[in-house]
DNA sequence: ATTAAGACCTTAATTGATTAAGAACGGCCC
DNA sequence: GGGCCGTTCTTAATCAATTAAGGTCTTAAT
């Protein structure tokens, strides 16, 4: 069966290609009888309908939004914060009747042309580390772009929260409860897969801008409270998993003196820290306070965290991209909120 | 700034369009000097690179896999089972360097042409109710298609589990523990948004084939054990949420005599039933046994469930679609497994 | 009878690329 | 100097549609 196009049908009926096109896309331009006959023949020949690619080319619109995410897709789908954002974005796409093209980025050195070849009308870039090659590829496409969380790209709308302020809020919470011995567990600072202690230089050199800024907030709050940041144990993990959190928890809780409060930059990590505390028989919050981030998996575990409007951010990103990019603000900062639950309390004196 | 195409650059340099094309796609066809000049001018003019749509048209491939899902996208992203499947599918797409185009289906009566206009090479259809119009639209595209879970479409590969057998396995588990008073809570049977008791006729009329079959498994096992299915209270909910599960739990546990075991067709629902049990002060598993399904959110809650190889299914679906559809088996049934945890036990005598 | 207005269909330009085949030219060898 | 080969670029067909503008008829009004 050779390919069936508009022309095939036109030839078969002795009419012009344009006529057949009208039969599909503009019924009012044709007599009912001819239209019926065209559709009949189309059906008979097994015509699959106007080729979307050709249509897309002619009409100059792709009908899809591209989504770029630094992690592997499997990972992105495993992260509650990302999922919340996807939901919002998907809702916006749904409302506009466009698809969401999720673009895998080559992991490792394998090169791929997914960004260059993506048939989309706009890009949403999320959580890319500084200098990631995909960003350059996206910008080269000269399509509307919004960036979420990181990195900041001058000239394109940015959606996120005031990271330093949010980080400081989380830290200040435990500091104001009276904690003086803090520990920090963070994921997603670097791309090198390192797990272990991280000193100040390494912390400052983080390639993920949002996490770097969040950490700066932690530090600022600590220093404002008179703590020496260099003395705050800082454990970095490579994967945002409960298991990694447990490992960080064990490392931090194994220190002498033991921290009485641990800050984490994701809820999933915080849950792992709670696991570690349980392993050691430490009571939370009596003997240990834990703060998460994003409020993505915190409620049931009674975790104190910073709540972010993930879905609203996704929806806003979608609307921004689909509105034709008119009058987009440079920086769209969303509200965040400290949610105090049962994982934090004053330290035992 | 008018649109910049290959031709613009060609004209500017006084070379042919083909030459410019070669500069981008086949460097070996050109002298280094000219190629450099072309790329320079391209950069200068702000050329965004060869138009992907035009390329796609010429090359006859879209570089994307279409994913059709009956629920709203926000919902799909909220369901752990779907997410597991997506992960697998995404991994396969990633390996092949193609994108994943997630297609929203119009909810309600709003019509949309997303399926007709989707620029994809193949479709993966998941969990569509019988007779859903989107299926016809997909089939009309005459592209490779695989269907996951439901509905079964003759002539196209089907991926899923042996639903009746899996359902029977779940039911048999509690029956063999000695339970005689069962209750069932199910979601995703009908599209009408109904929540409440469902009699046998309504159960059998479910439009989602997989869930219908799973229920048949429950019934078969019960009848084999000598129970009268008509006497088994059956509560149907419209949304797969913990809250809906709690509601179903309250309904079922409010019956006299109270069921000693409740079967649910998703883990999320089962968690809700556990909530209801907790509300009523019922001890699990001493006073109530609960069985989930899919092993998607069960581990931490200690839920007995049927484990499904969601990720493997996703990966298999992807590979099948990307392999050019050669020699695809008609029906690919995946293994499932009863995982017994702490939510089931013999009834108290 | 003339003219205007519709209805219905065709012509042809356009969307932005890819690529096989061919042409022009220089260099090399005999 | 002619034949041959290689390099480098051009020509032109092709992918599959959309749509403004124009051409025929038919019909109705003056």
Residues B49 and B80 in one domain: no
User: What are the distances in angstroms from CA A214 to CA A162, A168, A179, A188?
Assistant: 8, 8, 19, 11
A114 touches B at CB < 8 Å: yes
Contact, A34 vs A23, CB < 8 A? yes
Strand C reaches within 7 A of the A136 CB: no
CB atoms within 10 A of CB B227: 18
- Classified as helix, coil or strand, B221 is helix
Residues B168 and B278 in one domain: yes
Residues A21 and A71 in one domain: no
Q: Which residues sit opposite A69 in a β-bridge? A: A126
Q: Which of residues 279-338 of B touch A (CB under 8 A)?
A: 311
Question: Which residues are CB-neighbours of A349 under 8 A, at least 6 positions away?
Answer: none
B77 Cα to chain A: minimum distance (Å): 6
Q: Are strands A99-103 and A64-69 parallel, antiparallel or unpaired?
A: parallel
- Classified as helix, coil or strand, A304 is strand
Strand C reaches within 7 A of the B59 CB: yes
CA→C1' distance for B10 and D7 (Å) = 20
Residues B168 and B296 in one domain: yes
B321 in any annotated domain: no
A55: nearest nucleotide, CA–C1' criterion: D17
> Structure tokens of B289?
């046994």
Q: What is the SS3 assignment for B163-195? A: HHHHHHHHHHHHHHCCCCCEEEEEECCCCCCCC
In angstroms, how far is CA A258 from the centroid of its own chain?
34
A58 touches B at CB < 8 Å: no
Nucleotides of D under 7 A from a protein CB: 7-12, 14-20
The C-alpha angle A183, A187, A189, rounded to 5 degrees, equals 105
Residue burial A79-101, b: 16+ Cβ < 10 Å; e: rest? bbbbbbbbbbbbbbbbebbbbbb
Question: Which residues are CB-neighbours of B187 under 8 A, at least 6 positions away?
Answer: B211, B236, B237, B238, B239, B240, B244, B265, B266, B269
B324 in any annotated domain: no
User: How many whole angstroms separate alpha carbon A18 and alpha carbon A14?
Assistant: 12
The helix (H) or strand (E) run that includes residue B262 is: strand B261-264
A271 in any annotated domain: yes
Model confidence at B110, in pLDDT bands (50, 70, 90)? low
Question: Which residues are CB-neighbours of B132 under 8 A, at least 6 positions away?
Answer: B70, B151
B302 in any annotated domain: yes
User: How many whole angstroms separate alpha carbon B153 and alpha carbon B133?
Assistant: 13
pLDDT (0 to 100) of residue B312: 96
Q: Does residue B107 surpass a pLDDT of 80?
A: no
Which residues in chain B have their CB less than 8 angstroms from residue A142's CB? 46, 48
Number of structural domains found in chain B = 3
- Reported as a single tens digit per residue, the pLDDT across B236-293 is 999 999 999 999 999 999 999 999 999 999 999 999 999 999 999 999 999 999 999 9
In angstroms, how far is CA B178 from the centroid of its own chain?
34
B114 touches A at CB < 8 Å: yes
B77 touches A at CB < 8 Å: yes
A327 in any annotated domain: no
- Classified as helix, coil or strand, A113 is coil
| The B182-187 sheet, strands edge to edge | B196-197, B234-237, B182-187, B261-264, B289-291
pLDDT (0 to 100) of residue B164: 98
Residues B227 and B197 in one domain: yes
CA→C1' distance for B5 and D4 (Å) = 39
Residues A31 and A76 in one domain: no
Q: Of A135, A160, A185, which one is at a domain's C-terminal end?
A: A160
Answer yes or no: do A49 and B141 touch at CB < 8 A.
yes
Contact, B333 vs B202, CB < 8 A? no
> Structure tokens of B189?
């049977």
Which CATH number does the domain housing residue B17 bear?
1.10.260.40
User: How many whole angstroms separate alpha carbon A301 and alpha carbon B271?
Assistant: 14
Which residues in chain A have their CB less than 8 angstroms from residue B73's CB? 86-87, 90-91, 93-94, 100
B245 in any annotated domain: yes
B78 touches A at CB < 8 Å: yes
The C-alpha angle B134, B140, B145, rounded to 5 degrees, equals 75
B29: nearest nucleotide, CA–C1' criterion: D8
A349 Cα to chain B: minimum distance (Å): 33
Q: Of B160, B184, B210, which one is at a domain's C-terminal end?
A: B160
CA→C1' distance for B39 and C11 (Å) = 38
pLDDT (0 to 100) of residue B70: 79
User: How many whole angstroms separate alpha carbon A145 and alpha carbon A150?
Assistant: 13
User: How many whole angstroms separate alpha carbon B195 and alpha carbon A150?
Assistant: 43
Query: What's the longest Cα–Cα distance across chain B?
Result: 93
Q: Roughly how many angstroms between the first and final C-alpha of chain A, as a whole number?
A: 82
Question: Which residues are CB-neighbours of B133 under 8 A, at least 6 positions away?
Answer: none
User: What are the distances in angstroms from CA A239 to CA A81, A143, A245, B319?
Assistant: 14, 32, 9, 27
Residues A176 and A299 in one domain: yes
Contact, B45 vs B4, CB < 8 A? yes
Strand C reaches within 7 A of the B72 CB: no
Residues A85 and A189 in one domain: no
Which residues in chain A have their CB less than 8 angstroms from residue B91's CB? 72-74
B116 touches A at CB < 8 Å: yes
Closest-CA residue of chain B to A139: B48
User: How many whole angstroms separate alpha carbon B300 and alpha carbon A277?
Assistant: 16
A239 Cα to chain B: minimum distance (Å): 16
- Reported as a single tens digit per residue, the pLDDT across B196-216 is 999 999 999 999 999 999 999
Looking at the partner chain, which of B66, B117, B142 has a beta carbon nearest the beta carbon of A55?
A: B117
Looking at the partner chain, which of B51, B77, B112 has a beta carbon nearest the beta carbon of A83?
A: B77
Q: Which of residues 195-254 of A touch B (CB under 8 A)?
A: none
Which CATH number does the domain housing residue B282 bear?
3.40.50.2300
User: How many whole angstroms separate alpha carbon A67 and alpha carbon A101?
Assistant: 6
B45 touches A at CB < 8 Å: no
Residues A37 and A69 in one domain: no
pLDDT (0 to 100) of residue A299: 78
Return the C-alpha torsion angle A35, A36, A40, A41, nearest 10.
-30
> Structure tokens of B326?
């050669």
Q: Of A160, A182, A214, which one is at a domain's C-terminal end?
A: A160
Looking at the partner chain, which of A62, A78, A99 has a beta carbon nearest the beta carbon of B53?
A: A62
- Reported as a single tens digit per residue, the pLDDT across B141-158 is 999 999 999 999 999 999
A5 touches B at CB < 8 Å: no
Among A13-27, B29-43, B77-91, which stretch is predicted with the lowest mean pLDDT?
B77-91
B317 in any annotated domain: no
User: What are the distances in angstroms from CA A271 to CA A60, A174, A184?
Assistant: 48, 17, 14
A315 in any annotated domain: no
Residues B20 and B104 in one domain: no
pLDDT (0 to 100) of residue B349: 72
Residues B302 and B168 in one domain: yes
pLDDT (0 to 100) of residue A1: 60
> Structure tokens of A303?
């975790």
> Structure tokens of B260?
């000693």
Q: How big is the A-B interface in CB pairs under 8 Å?
A: 160
Per-residue pLDDT 10s for chain A (349 aa) are: 668 999 999 999 999 999 999 999 999 999 999 999 999 999 999 999 999 999 999 999 999 999 998 777 777 777 889 889 999 999 999 889 899 999 988 766 566 789 999 999 999 999 999 989 999 999 999 999 999 999 999 999 999 999 999 999 999 999 999 999 999 999 999 989 999 999 999 999 999 999 999 999 999 999 999 999 999 999 999 999 999 999 999 999 999 999 999 999 999 999 999 999 999 999 999 999 999 999 887 777 899 999 999 999 999 999 999 986 566 778 999 999 999 999 999 998 7
User: How many whole angstroms separate alpha carbon A249 and alpha carbon A279?
Assistant: 10
| The A196-197 sheet, strands edge to edge | A196-197, A234-237, A182-187, A261-264, A289-291
| The B158-160 sheet, strands edge to edge | A331-333, A158-160, A145-148, A122-126, A64-69, A99-103, B99-103, B64-69, B122-126, B145-148, B158-160, B331-333
Give A72 or B39, the one with higher predicted confidence: B39
A133 touches B at CB < 8 Å: no
Q: Does residue B131 surpass a pLDDT of 80?
A: yes
User: What are the distances in angstroms from CA A233 to CA A131, A249, B274?
Assistant: 28, 11, 40
A212 Cα to chain B: minimum distance (Å): 28
Residues B246 and B186 in one domain: yes
> Structure tokens of A57?
């080319």
What is the domain range of residue A86? 64-160
Q: Which residues sit opposite B122 in a β-bridge? A: B65
Model confidence at B327, in pLDDT bands (50, 70, 90)? low
Residue B182 phi/psi, 5° resolution? -100, 160
Among A4-8, B9-13, B97-101, B323-327, which stretch is predicted with the lowest mean pLDDT?
B323-327
């Amino acid at each position: 069966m050779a390919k069936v196009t508009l022309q095939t049908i036109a030839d078969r009926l002795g009419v012009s290609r344009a006529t057949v096109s009208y039969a599909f896309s503009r019924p009012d331009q044709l007599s009912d009888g001819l239209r019926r006959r065209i559709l009949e023949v189309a059906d008979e020949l097994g015509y699959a309908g106007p080729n979307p690619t050709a249509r897309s080319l002619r009409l100059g619109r792709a009908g899809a939004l591209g989504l770029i995410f630094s992690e592997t897709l499997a990972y992105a789908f495993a992260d509650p914060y990302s999922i919340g954002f996807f939901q919002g974005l998907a809702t916006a796409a749904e409302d506009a009747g466009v698809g969401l093209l999720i673009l895998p980025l080559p992991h490792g050195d394998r090169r791929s042309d997914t960004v260059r070849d993506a048939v989309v009308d706009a890009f949403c870039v999320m959580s890319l580390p500084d200098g990631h090659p995909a960003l350059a590829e996206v910008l080269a496409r000269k399509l509307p772009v919004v960036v979420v969380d990181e990195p900041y790209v001058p000239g394109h709308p940015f959606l996120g929260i005031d990271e330093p302020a949010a980080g400081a809020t989380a830290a200040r919470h435990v500091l104001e409860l009276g904690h003086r011995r803090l520990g920090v567990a963070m994921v997603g600072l670097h791309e090198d897969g390192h797990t272990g202690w991280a000193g100040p230089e390494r912390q400052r050199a983080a390639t993920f801008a949002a996490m770097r800024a969040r950490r700066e907030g932690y530090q600022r709050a600590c220093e404002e409270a008179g703590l020496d940041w260099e003395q705050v144990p800082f454990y970095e993990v490579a994967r945002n998993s409960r298991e990694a959190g447990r490992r960080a928890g064990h490392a931090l809780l194994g220190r002498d003196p033991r921290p009485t409060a641990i800050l984490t930059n994701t809820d999933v990590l915080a849950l792992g820290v709670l696991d570690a505390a349980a392993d050691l028989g430490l009571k939370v919050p009596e003997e240990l306070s834990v703060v998460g981030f994003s409020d993505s998996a915190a409620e049931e575990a009674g975790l104190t965290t910073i709540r972010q409007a993930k879905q609203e951010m996704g929806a806003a990103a979608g609307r921004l991209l689909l509105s034709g990019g008119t009058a987009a603000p440079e920086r769209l900062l969303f509200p965040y909120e400290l949610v105090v639950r049962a994982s934090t309390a004053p330290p035992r004196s």
